[in-house]
Every structure is written in C-alpha cells, then in structure tokens.
Amino acid sequence: MRDVLVRDPLPDVDVDRALDATRRVVEAVLGLLVEPMGRAHGEDWTIRDRTGAVRGVVRVDRWADRAERLSRTDRPGHTPLADQTPWAGSSSEALPVATVAIRCRVDGSGRSLTGPHQLQATLHEVGHALNHVLLGGRTTLVTGLDYLPVERLDLMSMWFDKWALHPGFLRAVLTDPGADSVARVIWSRCIEFRRTLPTRVVVAAVDHALHRSTSGTFAETWTALDHRFGIAQLAAEEDVLEHLAWPMPLANPGGEFSMLWAYAATSTTFAPFLDHDYDHDHPDHADGIFSSSVDPTAPSVPVDPVAAFAFHRTREDHSR
C-alpha cells in the first residue's frame, strides 16, 4: 500500500472545507446548531440543541508546524474532555468542553491542508467531542464519556469517521474532487481497515478474556482462545502481547473490545446515509441511532460482528 501511494499520492484535504462540511453534518443529521467562532490556530464551536439551549463547546485546534505540536501536551487526534463554566457568574452548572486537534500544513497560498487519514481521525474525535457534549445526567466531577459502558464509548466516534468514506463528503473536501480521486481515497481507507480488522478482533478477544478473568496468564489465555477460535491464524502472539503492553491499552482495558463493537454497530447504522448527500436534512434518522450514546440508562443494542467486514468490502467494491 505504501509503495502504491508513493507512486500515486492521494489528494489533499482542504481543512477549511472539511470543517465546514463536518459542521453541516452535525446540523443536518443531529439537528443541532453549530456556531463557529474563529481564533488563533483554530476555532470554537458553540453547540446548541433544537430548543436553542447551549449544550457545550467543541474547540478545534490546528497544528500547522512541528514546533507548535511539540509545545502542546495533547496529541493530534486526541480529544481532551473537561467540564468548565466559561464565564464568572453565568451559571452554577458546568459547561462541557472538548478539544479536537488537527495536524495540517499550510501551502504557498495560505490554505491549511491535511490528508485523508488525518481527516478520518479528526472526524472520529469530533464524534467523541459531541458525545461528551450531548451526554445527559452528568455531574461536575465526572466527564461525559465516563458514564457510558465500555461497548458504547466509540459508537458516535466510529459513526462520524465513516463520513471519510462518503463520496459526497469527499467531493466537498478534497482538493481534487474528481471521481477517480474520490474512489482512490475510499479504496485506500477500506483496504487499511480490512487489513487491520482481523488483528483487532484477536486483540479484543484476548483483552476481554484477560480482564474478565481473576486468574491465568497471557500465555494460558492465548492457548485457550486459539483452541476455541484458531486465533493464531489471524495474528502473531508476540504482536498481540506487545500491543497490550502499550500505555493506552494498559490504561484503558477493554478499549479494543469497544472499538470492535463500534466497528460492527456503525457499519450497520451508517449504511442508510450513503443514499443521501452529506448535508441532506434527516435528523429523524439519527435520533434513534444515538439514543444509547447520550442516555447512559438506555440498553446496549446487540451487533452483527460480520457487518464491519461487509461494510468495508462493499465500499471497496463501489470504489472500483
């Protein structure tokens, strides 16, 4: 894949157009009002619901050079979450705030540009940010996503990042919006996801088995799962062990399970939106889709594990 893209690079993404298209999705699909306000190195989005009430703020930071990124503690694509009251005396209730960071570069004409991979990462984090803002029943001492069970943590984020596979959305944000360019972007993203999904399945199974058991070693867990499912055919034992030893999996046990659940769930819930343009007004569609993401008391919906593979295979076939 790397050799193919070096010979024939993918088109760039115009960051201004990408943020505008993302705001349109938020308004058209979720029925929210987004009020952007520009600032140095980014913009702030005040999020209002259908009654006009402010639900929170999404801060979008642009990291346009390496020195600026090194001066920050947040990593690109990460979504720091907080609850804060933005002005003294305005309210005793904390206002949820989330920050999304975009790695980009500035060309000779002053345009901020990024790539399709970073576009998908940014859309993913916008989903997390909105999930944090929209969650109800919060207290000031607990951030929004902490209210959700592990299988629901990535439902909104995974749904949002699939807009990076939507032809109409890509036509609106790519510097080359031609049919061939759009098809190549979709093809490359689907190939990458399909290549990594089997490994993610194995990591999720091992992660889940390890953390729900009160005894047993990694080697014993691996052997038991391999006897039952043949996981050694899908991933190398040493690769999975190395991955689970990284700081993020150690700090977030069950994270791979959450991602896998969301892969499958959103592959089903996003499919109807492929039949409409990205800014088509259909808030009724999304009301039911995100009910379990914004209401911690709602039940989790069972998923079809095969849906993630089928979705990306279908998108790949359509891009040819």
**What are the tens digits of pLDDT across the range 189-226?**
888 888 888 888 899 899 888 888 888 889 999 999 99
Extract the runs of DSSP E, i.e. beta strands, from the chain: 13-14, 33-39, 42-48, 54-63, 81-84, 95-103, 105-106, 112-114
The pTM (predicted TM-score) of the whole model is 0.85
Question: How confident is the model at residue 287, as a pLDDT?
Answer: 63
The closest of 155, 157, 161, 135 to 146, measured between CA atoms, is 135
> What whole-number distance in Å separates Cα of residue 123 and Cα of residue 29?
14
DSSP 8-state code for residue 281: -
Question: How confident is the model at residue 33, as a pLDDT?
Answer: 94
Look up residue 212 and give its amino acid.
Answer: R
Q: At residue 177, what are phi and psi to the nearest 5 degrees? A: -85, 15
CB count in 10 Å sphere of residue 69: 15
In sequence order, the β-bridge partners of residue 37 are: 44
* Cβ-Cβ contacts under 8 Å for 309 (sequence gap 6 or more): 194, 197
Q: What percent of the chain has pLDDT over 90?
A: 42
Q: Which of 160-164, 186-190, 211-215, 242-246 has the lowest mean pLDDT?
A: 211-215
Confidence of residue 88 (pLDDT cuts 50, 70, 90): very low
The residue written with tokens 């990124």 in the block is: 69
Task: Report residue 22 CA to chain centroid gap.
Answer: 13
Confidence of residue 317 (pLDDT cuts 50, 70, 90): low
Question: Is residue 68 predicted with pLDDT exceeding 60?
Answer: no
Mean pLDDT of 176-187: 93
End-to-end CA distance of the chain: 16
Q: Which of 12-21, 163-172, 262-271, 304-313 has the lowest mean pLDDT?
A: 304-313
Mean pLDDT of 61-85: 57
Confidence of residue 70 (pLDDT cuts 50, 70, 90): very low
Question: Is residue 279 predicted with pLDDT exceeding 80?
Answer: no
Strand order from edge to edge, sheet including 112-114: 13-14, 112-114, 105-106
Question: How confident is the model at residue 21, as a pLDDT?
Answer: 96
Question: Is residue 89 predicted with pLDDT exceeding 50?
Answer: no
Question: How confident is the model at residue 230, as a pLDDT?
Answer: 95
> What whole-number distance in Å separates Cα of residue 118 and Cα of residue 139?
33
Across the chain, what does the average pLDDT equal? 83
Domains and CATH numbers, the chain: 13-148 (3.40.390.10), 184-318 (no CATH)
Question: How confident is the model at residue 314, as a pLDDT?
Answer: 74
In this predicted model, which residue has the larger pLDDT, 43 or 304? 43
Question: Is residue 163 predicted with pLDDT exceeding 90?
Answer: yes
Q: What is the pLDDT of residues 116-157, one digit of tens each?
A: 999 999 999 999 999 998 886 666 556 667 788 888 889 999
Confidence of residue 32 (pLDDT cuts 50, 70, 90): very high
